[in-house]
Structure 1
């Protein structure tokens, strides 16, 4: 018997009788819920230690699946694996549902912030503060304390500092924008609606101070108060100011034969179009910038592209009456005949000294004309003189001044500031070129590649 007892005692000591055992829950999983102070989160660790790597956080009331519990730590299913949380922050009691509705209130604590408490007591833990005029969601409104939504949970604030009246905010800062309406005025409204009372208007490119910018309407400082404008007509990009200089001289529209010159309300291709001007039309130009010309259009200021505005060249093609000119003219039969010009009391006469001077023309013609001695055929500029000036039509043939500063050499010498007039048929083929020189008139004519007229000598 003694021997048997001794063996039993030895066996008991071997298995640890008298030592503190390690307690571990069964392998069956349990459903529990995070129970932690509102506003805080529960750390999920890689292993059962506060020094272990944090894998993430769980919010209060989160449902978790517990695998096992050991030494104050619970092993839980976390994402696609496992993690560890402090067991003291888990409960088997299912949390009550959050209130389904709240009432909007506003903080009314002029000049100070409102304290947020963990429980309805001024001695309770302070969780944070809320600024004056802030909007808050009240879950339950009490005589002294009210429960509110705060961050990811709930908290309490003193009821006496809450009001349902939305405060009239006085913005301390604004953002600079510019009106972008392409020449038209932007309406300012009393409220954010196109049917609201109109307080006034702002000109295009006006600088405005925006208090709050919205998708459709923006609140702005206007006069001594505030107003609303459509946000689509505001831009942060400062407009490029067109610097206009005064212009002198005579100007003409020069868009060509196939189109007209657009007239706009502002110096922009996106500005409202208010009319069109045809080729060779005289313009009343007030000023010009690098890209635009400011004009008087039907009594109002308007703008046209400077690219299609040309200044008339003031030149005199009349020949000096105190000099004699010799030219040669190719007759229709191909022969060349030399003819001369002479002056008699303001009359220009052409002819041959042997045959007499039978053709005459006034010496005061605006654009000097040469007429063939026999046929009366001649050349003349019957449009304002500027590069691009045209006459005629695309369907019947037309002429175009292609240069007003050409240098041309003929038998009589070299001439500068020569005006070149080209003629085209209905197919657009160049058939003739005529050259006009200041104080000399026509100095050369070329038809179908052959010279038909040329100034030979000037005495």
Structure 2
């Protein structure tokens, strides 16, 4: 049926609208089992228990199929990134190998909206061809975003000096960036005394002798003050895991996947098709294992082996080629457990209180962080004003802005004309997938962000209201929201579905602190019963 959206948070209130399964809603607040929401342009209240942070599979209703064309990924080396928006700065949903077949929905401004591996996203049109290219090369170049084969190391130079990152593995190559002591870098490969690395959004080469696997005790100089506090929750870690399992946290990790024997019609010993609509693959041979994901009727699956399950049935181990799948209880537990991150100098930054100001030195930040960062250059004082006004850590605001604006160069950051006036948007507020520039610009126009300063300060209010002033003032709490789990007994108001999201966000913030000589920060460690 449908969910009633009511005028106020009570069963007797009049019905404003009826919402069908799978409708996306914006949640403003939750209280006494009711959520205040916006849906289909209307405001109202619904019973919280009928909302989920992951989109449910909706009933299949006949619809007019989208007209699509089939094309193939054609890259000379490495993989093609499928992104969530048509922009180089947008986050990567999945990596597509050479020769992968995709359905093209539409093309615009050099970007193609495509379907691949059951999901939709955007790729650069130039890397698609109408004919299938040869197979994947034996050893593709390492991709800057491929975490599989990388290690984190730290720059070790004398304080006050820099390590040059160069465009190629040669002392005469041009300098791309200068890295300060203790900067965390991602290392892809090492050869002849040179390391290929990524740091602060740039990829290049540095002399291997100035990198160390040993982490510093704190970023930057020893003038930084780090205070540690504990925050106790009336929850066990296992209960928290159980609550999170119910909302299917996602991971791009590969698992062995199994389907019960009666779920397949065998074509031969290595191939079968799914029999019926309700089958799912699990993370082990038995129905007591967690569901990794769904499969559809008649879907073809490659069979790897056959084993007797814990329930007496035979189970087939099959290839399941989705990039994002439901995470295992063990992996969810690992990511929720603070003990796994608190002693790591980089990963512990997911516990930094984002409601506390850094007391950063403005000229230091302009010189070391914002120099050469497009429209954000010279705006350290504006970020300080924004942080002070709305109670948000300024380094977090800068990190967020650098990420969203491609280091201050995106169209939304540099100005878009709406109704004859130039507007700015520094945090991607209101920039929805598929229409990021137009929707983000319209939001900025409605908010009155007609100068870069107005956008930096006004956007900080949006960031503060969404999570930080609601008490979710660490990256860990934005992802996992233990307070809500403690209060309601279910997961609510979580920023991301990726179980590794908080850990993946921290390197940039850690490196920004590495550039500062003095700062103040508090690390709040969750403690479960």
TM-score range, shorter chain: under 0.3
Q: TM-score, normalised by structure 1?
A: 0.21
Q: TM-score, normalising length from structure 2?
A: 0.18
By percentage of residues, which structure has more helix?
2
Structure with the larger RCO, 1 or 2 (CA within 8 Å, 6+ apart) = 2
